[in-house]
Amino acid sequence: MDMVTLTIDGIKVQAPKDATVLEAARKAGIKIPTLCFLKGVNEIGACRMCVVEVKGAKSLQTACVLPVSDGMEVITNSAAVRESRKVTLELLLSDHNLECPTCIRNLNCELQKLSEELGVQAIRYPGEKSKAQYDDFSPSIVRDTSKCILCRRCVSTCHKVQSVGVISPNYRGFNTVIAPVYDMSLSEVSCVNCGQCIMACPVGALKEKDDTDKVWKALADPEKYVIVQTAPAIRVSLGEEFGGELGTIVTKKLPAALRRLGFDKVFDTDFSADLTILEEGSEFLDRLQNGGKLPLITSCSPGWIKFCEHYYPEFLDNLSTCKSPQQMFGALVKTYYAEKMGIDPSKIFSVSIMPCTAKKYECKRPEMFSSGYQDVDVALTTRELSRMLKEAGINLNNLPDEEFDEPLGISTGAGAIFGATGGVMEAALRTVYEIVTKKELKNIDFTEVRGVEGVKEATIDIDGIKVNVAVAHGLSNARVVLDRVKNGEANYHFIEIMACPGGCVGGGGQPILNADERWEADYREERAKAIYEVDRNMPLRKSHENPAVKSLYKEFLGEPLGEKSHKLLHTHYTKRELYPATK
């Protein structure tokens, strides 16, 4: 690659020709503060926090979008630069609802951090505050524009990464606000509740709808039997909230933590992930052998489901009728488990810990009451669980290792990999292969469907049957795959789609990394590595070998796709309008 040489703060620095000054400086260990910049997502040079002096240029330049050139001389911390950054920051703060101690992002806020780093100790420009919108009508996402700094990181994420595009800067100048059309609520437009905008936001302007109160209340209620399930991806992310490295594995700390919070039973969504594989694998084979609708598309990701309902309704019949593992679990807890244990299902309060904001929406869907009650009462995100633990003074690091409760806490490695993109596909292939061939699958690692590439394709040979599979994560990648099918460019049999980039490990309810941390490491990749390690270390790694799933079929369900399964574990979908209802 062509390299150029420039000087930054008197240091000679080599950088690729197409690098920006910001990149060159970072590589040389020189820190330039940024705010609107989010690598690969939002590189628009809007906030002017990253200004630098460039010899020969009349005004200060924004380093995040400034290309390097040979012989360039850059100064990153002159008095003029520091003053300019300070003024920029103070102007932002002057129109900001400063209430750090009670703000959701207190101690994890880029604005707060910058203010400390730049030494801002007073705001010299007290001014009028713009009119704010507080929108908490969505079951998943809360918008509080009084904290918004108009960096547009959420906008780029929603439009480019997710190709949903329901929030934009509306109006102009002082009145500018990031909002849906006509300042509607996110619940009135075709937002899919993925929460990726929250992950991108540097401040407290976007957050999940907090449901911890409901859980505290249930835990304190002696009448309630409170059951919790934890999704696969939580065990490789919650540790980060307690100072752990990216992808620290806390599988055995989780049960201990949840018991100390007071849950009566601590179960594992990995169990119902295994169950999903049996149902979905059977569904796939049924469609393949009996001329059913193909490609079959996975249905675990409620953000993806809503996206399909709004944007690609022509594919609704391709969606697997299987409910997500969260909802299969919910339906069973208030039927099978309640019966087995002789508990009145109306007394059961069912909580899930999810990496996902869309799960909050999913558990309220009218289709998700098949036990006769709301199957999952509350879905909490990883972040909400972390807040509850901290509030209760429980430090994950100080807990002993414990096991999940039986039987709904028994799982295999196949259930665990649901947490990473490609995992559902891989788990399904492990089972489908053995069902079809009745032979043992020797190499169970389907590495061709793993990894961070946006769209993965493979052809798997199952005893002479060639199965074409595709895996997409992030909804803009889902579009690529669906458009290929639509245009007849691909002949897939089975497609896995996850709404979030990286799959659930990158879910919108996961611990939030700031822009610098996101630059330094791919958090999804690190967490996915941990997920595969969890899988490797499990004694059982194929869903159909899960003994608890086997007894569930024997004692209760009968067989996959049977009558009970149909009633409890499968569902249907609804076409939704793309645009808000016009009056």
Residues marked active site are found at 280, 283, 300, 320, 359, 362, 367, 504
Query: How is residue 141 written in tokens?
Result: 């996402």
**Total residue length of the chain:** 583
Q: Which is nearer to ligand FES, 6 or 47 (CB)?
A: 47
Report the alpha-carbon distance of residue 161 to residue 322 in Å, rounded: 26
Is the Cβ–Cβ distance between 146 and 114 less than 8 Å? no
180 binds another protein, rule: CB under 8 A: yes
Please name the residue ranges forming H helices in 123-268: 153-156, 196-200, 212-220, 253-261
Interface of this chain with ligand SF4, residues 107 to 166, rule: CB under 6 A: 109, 111-112, 141, 147-154, 157-158, 162, 164, 166
Residue matched to tokens 């700390």: 253
* Residue 278: half-sphere exposure toward Cβ, Cα within 13 Å: 28
476 binds another protein, rule: CB under 8 A: no
512 binds ligand SF4, rule: CB under 6 A: no
Please list, in sequence order, all residues whose beta carbon lies within 8 angstroms of the beta carbon of residue 423, skipping any fewer than 6 positions away. 232, 416, 417, 503, 531
CB neighbours of residue 582 within 10 Å? 5
Of 499, 510, 508, 571, the closest CA to residue 303 belongs to: 499
Is the Cβ–Cβ distance between 130 and 173 less than 8 Å? no
Task: State in angstroms the smallest separation of the CB of 163 from ligand SF4.
Answer: 9
172 binds another protein, rule: CB under 8 A: yes
Query: How is residue 279 written in tokens?
Result: 């149902």
Q: Which of 13, 25, 30, 49 binds ligand FES (CB under 6 A)?
A: 49
User: What does 230 interact with, of another protein, ligand SF4, ligand FES, none (CB < 5 to 8 A by kind)?
Assistant: none
In one-letter notation, the amino acid at residue 182 is Y
311 binds ligand FES, rule: CB under 6 A: no
Specify the stretch interacting with ligand FES by CB under 6 A; choose among 46-54, 181-189, 281-289, 407-415. 46-54
Interface of this chain with another protein, residues 148 to 167, rule: CB under 8 A: 159, 164-167
Task: State in angstroms the smallest separation of the CB of 342 from ligand SF4.
Answer: 41
Q: Which of 96, 450, 527, 542 binds ligand SF4 (CB under 6 A)?
A: 96
49 binds ligand SF4, rule: CB under 6 A: no
532 binds ligand FES, rule: CB under 6 A: no
Q: Which of 57, 171, 341, 558 binds another protein (CB under 8 A)?
A: 171
User: What does 141 interact with, of ligand FES, ligand SF4, another protein, none (CB < 5 to 8 A by kind)?
Assistant: ligand SF4
Report the alpha-carbon distance of residue 4 to residue 73 in Å, rounded: 12
* Binding pattern for the stretch 51-90 against ligand FES, x by CB under 6 A and - elsewhere: -----------x-x--------------------------
Backbone angles phi, psi at 393, to 5 degrees: 70, 25
Strand order in the sheet with 455-462: 296-297, 494-498, 465-473, 455-462
Query: How is residue 24 written in tokens?
Result: 């060159």
Binding site for another protein (CB under 8 A): 159, 164-172, 180-182, 189, 579-580, 582
Binding site for ligand FES (CB under 6 A): 34-37, 45-50, 62, 64
